[in-house]
Amino acid sequence: MTCPECLCHAYAFSEIQNCARLREARFIALDNILKKATERRADFLLIAGDLFDDLEVDQLTARRAFEMLEAAPLPVYVLPGNHDPLIPGGVWDRHPWNKPAGNALCLLRERKALEVTPGLVLLPCPVFRKTSLDDPTAWLTDSPVGDSEIRIGIAHGSLKIRDDLPLDDHLIGRNAVDGLGWDSRQE
Domain 10-183 adopts which CATH fold?
Answer: Purple Acid Phosphatase; chain A, domain 2 (3.60.21)
Average pLDDT of 78-106? 86
* Per-residue pLDDT at 22: 81
CA distances from 96 to 17, 32, 103, 108, 156 (A): 26, 22, 15, 15, 23
Average pLDDT of 5-13? 47
Sorted by where each begins, the domain ranges of the chain are 10-183
Query: pTM for the full model?
Result: 0.77
**Which stretches within the chain are classed as H helix?**
16-39, 59-70, 170-173
- The share of the chain scoring above pLDDT 70, in percent, equals 66
CA distance 112 to 33: 26
DSSP string of 124-162, one letter each residue: E----SSS-SS-TTGGGGGS--TT-SEEEEEEES-STTS
Question: Has residue 185 got a pLDDT over 90?
Answer: no
Question: Has residue 127 got a pLDDT over 80?
Answer: yes
Question: Has residue 167 got a pLDDT over 60?
Answer: no
List, in order, residues 6 or more apart from 121 with CB less than 8 Å away: 113, 114, 115, 146, 148, 150, 151, 152
